[in-house]
Structure 1
C-alpha cells in the first residue's frame, strides 16, 4: 500500500519529507506486523529501520494532531452525501493506581450498510490517581468528560458534507451539556446512565417504566465476551421528555431544560443463564412511532464497530497496552499510526462479504497503483472451482479483501476471515509490493513503502 497522500491512501499528506518517508515506512511496517506485539526494534526489521522509526517517533515536528487531521480529511471525502453514523468511545492504553493513559476515538460509518468510512478524531488523555476535589462544580471544559462534546463537534465538522450525521455514544457520555451544547447539524443517540430529574418534577426512569409497550421486534446482537451472537426479541417504549438542568454549579448559560426523546428497549425472553438486554437511549431524533424507535435502537447497536476497532488495536492485533514506551509523545505517535492502520484493517474485514448495498471502492484503503498487483495476486490464488474464485468485481474493496484473506491463510471454505487473518494477508501483500518496488527502484514515489 502507498501512504504518500495520493487519493485513496489512508494517511494522506501528513507524512511530509523528511519525516514523511519514515512515517510511510512506519505505517507500512505496522500493517505488515499487525497481530503481534508492537516493538520498535521488531517494527524496524533491522538496526537501520529501528533507528529510522525511533527518530520519527521522537521528532517533535511530527504531531498526532497532524496525522489525525489528514486521516479525517480523507474520511470527510467519503462522507459526502451519505447518512453518517459517528461512533465515539474511550479505551485504556495504560492504567495504574487509578490513573493512566487513555485514547478517545471517533469513527464514521455509512448509515446504509455499516461500512467504515474512516477515522474522524482521536484524543489522548492522561489521568493521575486520587480523587479530584471540586470535580462536580468544575465547568465542563475543565473535565475529562469534555472529550465527548469535542468528539461530537469534530464529527459535525468533519462530516459537514454528509446528508445527515448521528453521533452515538455509551453511558459515560450521558452529560447534560452533551444535549444542551449539541453542535449544529448533528443528532445524538446516547445511552442513559442517570435517572435524571425532569422539568415536570418527575424522574426519567419512572416515566418510561410507566409507558406502555409500543411495539416488538427482533434485534441481532453481536457476539462479545460472555455472550454469543443471537437474535433477541425486544419490546420498545418511547416518550418525549424534558431533562432538567442539574443544579451543581456549572456554567450559567445553559438552558433550564432540554427536550429529547427517550427510547427504552428490553429483551422479552433471554436465553437461560444470560441477562436480558436493556437499553435506555436518549436521542434528539424525533420518535413518533415504533418503527422510528427501533431505528434509534439500530443506530445504537452499531457501537460494536468501535469495540471491534479497539480489539484490533489491543488483544486481537497491535497489543498497544504493552508497548513498552514510557514517554507520552512517542507512545502517542505510535498509537496514532496504529489507529489509522487498524481502521484500514477493519475496512477490509467489513468488505469481505461484499454487501449489503453497493460495493465500496478499492480506493477507500488502497492506492490506485495497487490494483495491478492485487489482480496478479488474485490470479495466483484462485482455484478451478467457483468457490475457489474471487466472487467480487475488480476495483472493489471486497475484491481486495478476498485477496488479503487468502494471502493471510483463509482457504475460502471455513468461517469468515477476521482481523488477524487480514493482518497476516497484509504482511504477504506488503512483502510482494516491496519486491516489485525493488525491481524498479527508479519508479518509487516519495511515500512508497520500502
Structure 2
C-alpha cells in the first residue's frame, strides 16, 4: 500500500517537485489509515503540520490535485472498449463546524456545508476506475427562499447544469475509441441533457422519472411503455442493506423507442424538437411480502434492437450504486465531514486528496472480487503481506508464496471485523478500511522487528 500513490500521482503538477512529493506522502499516509485523524495518519507533528500547510497553499488549487488522479483514470479507461461514467451529487455536511468560513446551506437554513457532484468511471463489470470530474460549490444563504420559479430559469442558472458540465468533461477526457455511457439517477432526467450534442462514442443511460409526452397512442411515457409487450424476464441479485436481506428478484423487461416531446414549461420550447430515446422498463411484479417492488424506467441513447441489448443496459444500471459507495467511503471511511479546517477552500483541498484515497479503497474492494486469484503483491508490499500471514497463522516464519488478492483482502477485512460467514458474502468497504488501519500497525511492528534482528 505504500508505493501505489507514487504511480497513481506520477503526473502530478503542483508547480514544484517538493509539492508533488508532499502530495504523494499525504495520500500514502491517509490510505494506510483512512479512518484515522490527520495527526494519527501522518504519524508525527512535522508531517501533520506539513499536511495542513499543504491544504492551505496559495500556489495550487484543489483541481490540480484531482487532475493528477484524473490522468491515471484516463490511462485505465483506455484499457476498456466501453466504460460506465456514473454521475451523482452528495453533501459534505459541516453543520457541526459552523466556524468554517465559506460554506453554504444544504437542504435547509440550519444545515451547512459543501455540495459535491462527481463523475466516476467504472468498467462494465463494476470495477471502479477513478474520477473524471468533481464539482464543488456552496449555496449562498441569501438565495434561500427566493421566489423566482425554478422552471423559469435557464439551465445554466440551475444546479442541474452540473450534469451537463460533467458530460462535457467526460467527453473531453475519454478517448474517441472508447465508448462511454454516462449514467445517472432520476435527478438526471433533464431534457437538456438528452438533447445535448454528443460525439458518436458518448451515450446516456438515465433513470427516468418525468411522465413526458411521447409519440404513442397512450400519449405519455409511463402509460406508453407499460402498453408495450413483454420482452422477457431477468433475475437480478438485490444486495443486503440495513432494512432488508439479500434476495433474488425476477424483473419483467419491456422496451421500445419513442420520440419524447419538449417539456411544455421549457423556456426555449418553440425553438426545440423532440428527442428520440430508447426506453426500458424493468419491474418486479411479485416481491416478497412487505418489500417494495423494483421499478426502473431507463432512458437511453444506446441502440436497443433486441432483448439482450435491453438486459445489458439493466445490468449496467445496477452498477450505478458504486458512486454511492464511493461517497460513503469518502464520508464514513475517510471521515471528510469530521475535518476541522478553517475555510471551505481548505476543506476542498482535503476533499480532493481524500477522493483519491476513497477510490483506492473502493477499487481494492471490487478488484478482489473480479480478479481474486492474482497475487496480493499487486497491492501490498512484501512486509505487509508477510506480517498479515504471520498474524493469522501464528507462525513466525512467513510463507514463501504470497496469498491471492482475495485471500489477503479477506484477512484485512477480518482485522476490521469481517466474520466470513456464508451469508456475509464478500467483505465490504467498511471492514476493509478498518482492517487497513490495523494492518498498518501490524506491518510497522513486523518491519521494525525484522530490522532490529
Scaled to the shorter chain, the TM-score interval is: 0.7 to 0.9
Equivalent residue runs for 1:231-380 within 5 Å = 231-248=248-265, 250=267, 255-315=272-332, 317-355=333-371, 366=379, 371-377=381-387, 380=390
Which one of the candidate residues 227, 240, 261 is aligned to 1:210? 227
Q: Which residue of 2 aligns with 1:170?
A: 185
Task: Determine if the alignment matches structure 1 residue 417 to structure 2 residue 430.
Answer: no
In structure 1, C-alpha distance between the alignment counterparts of 2:72 and 2:305, rounded to whole Å = 36
The structure-2 alpha-carbon separation of the partners of 1:360 and 1:156, relative to structure 1 and needing over 3 Å to count, comes to farther
The structure-2 alpha-carbon separation of the partners of 1:11 and 1:226, relative to structure 1 and needing over 3 Å to count, comes to farther
Verify the 8 A CA contact 2:250 2:284 in the aligned structure 1. Answer: yes
Verify the 8 A CA contact 1:262 1:282 in the aligned structure 2. Answer: yes
In structure 1, C-alpha distance between the alignment counterparts of 2:262 and 2:386, rounded to whole Å = 62
Verify the 8 A CA contact 1:76 1:161 in the aligned structure 2. Answer: no
1:313, distance to aligned residue in structure 2 (A): 1.6
Three-state SS of the structure 1 residue aligned to 2:363 is helix
Verify the 8 A CA contact 1:34 1:420 in the aligned structure 2. Answer: no
In structure 2, C-alpha distance between the alignment counterparts of 1:360 and 1:170, rounded to whole Å = 36
Deviations 1:84-123 (A, max 9, x none): 1111111111236256421111221111x31112222211
In structure 1, C-alpha distance between the alignment counterparts of 2:340 and 2:79, rounded to whole Å = 42
In structure 2, C-alpha distance between the alignment counterparts of 1:205 and 1:421, rounded to whole Å = 41
Alignment RMSD, CA only? 3.6
1:264, distance to aligned residue in structure 2 (A): 0.8
The structure-2 alpha-carbon separation of the partners of 1:280 and 1:392, relative to structure 1 and needing over 3 Å to count, comes to farther
Q: Which residue of 2 aligns with 1:97?
A: 108
Deviates more, 1:223-232 or 1:423-432: 423-432
1:47, distance to aligned residue in structure 2 (A): 3.3
Unaligned runs of 5+ residues in structure 1 are 440-450
The structure-2 alpha-carbon separation of the partners of 1:378 and 1:326, relative to structure 1 and needing over 3 Å to count, comes to closer
Equivalent residue runs for 1:21-40 within 5 Å = 21-36=21-36, 39-40=37-38
How many residues align structurally?
A: 426
Q: Which residue of 2 aligns with 1:79?
A: 77
1:254, distance to aligned residue in structure 2 (A): 6.5
Which one of the candidate residues 132, 142, 152 is aligned to 1:137? 152
Task: Determine if the alignment matches structure 1 residue 123 to structure 2 residue 135.
Answer: yes
1:361, distance to aligned residue in structure 2 (A): 9.2
Verify the 8 A CA contact 1:261 1:283 in the aligned structure 2. Answer: yes
1:229, distance to aligned residue in structure 2 (A): 2.0
Equivalent residue runs for 1:31-70 within 5 Å = 31-36=31-36, 39-70=37-68
1:433, distance to aligned residue in structure 2 (A): 7.0
In structure 2, C-alpha distance between the alignment counterparts of 1:227 and 1:411, rounded to whole Å = 19
| Larger RCO: 1 or 2 (CA < 8 Å, sep 6+) | 1
Task: Determine if the alignment matches structure 1 residue 401 to structure 2 residue 409.
Answer: yes
In structure 2, C-alpha distance between the alignment counterparts of 1:344 and 1:330, rounded to whole Å = 22
Which one of the candidate residues 86, 103, 107 is aligned to 2:120? 107
Three-state SS of the structure 1 residue aligned to 2:316 is helix
Verify the 8 A CA contact 2:376 2:385 in the aligned structure 1. Answer: no
The structure-2 alpha-carbon separation of the partners of 1:411 and 1:143, relative to structure 1 and needing over 3 Å to count, comes to closer
In structure 1, C-alpha distance between the alignment counterparts of 2:376 and 2:389, rounded to whole Å = 20
Three-state SS of the structure 2 residue aligned to 1:136 is helix
Q: Which residue of 2 aligns with 1:442?
A: none
Three-state SS of the structure 2 residue aligned to 1:59 is coil
Unaligned runs of 5+ residues in structure 2 are 94-105
Verify the 8 A CA contact 1:138 1:249 in the aligned structure 2. Answer: no
Q: Which residue of 2 aligns with 1:446?
A: none
The structure-2 alpha-carbon separation of the partners of 1:419 and 1:384, relative to structure 1 and needing over 3 Å to count, comes to same
In structure 1, C-alpha distance between the alignment counterparts of 2:318 and 2:244, rounded to whole Å = 15
In structure 2, C-alpha distance between the alignment counterparts of 1:378 and 1:224, rounded to whole Å = 30
Deviates more, 1:237-246 or 1:90-99: 90-99
1:381, distance to aligned residue in structure 2 (A): 5.0
Verify the 8 A CA contact 1:197 1:244 in the aligned structure 2. Answer: yes
TM-score by length of 1: 0.82
Three-state SS of the structure 1 residue aligned to 2:322 is helix
Q: Which residue of 2 aligns with 1:445?
A: none
Verify the 8 A CA contact 2:35 2:437 in the aligned structure 1. Answer: no
In structure 2, C-alpha distance between the alignment counterparts of 1:265 and 1:181, rounded to whole Å = 26
Q: Which residue of 2 aligns with 1:226?
A: 243
Verify the 8 A CA contact 2:88 2:185 in the aligned structure 1. Answer: yes
In structure 2, C-alpha distance between the alignment counterparts of 1:384 and 1:44, rounded to whole Å = 29
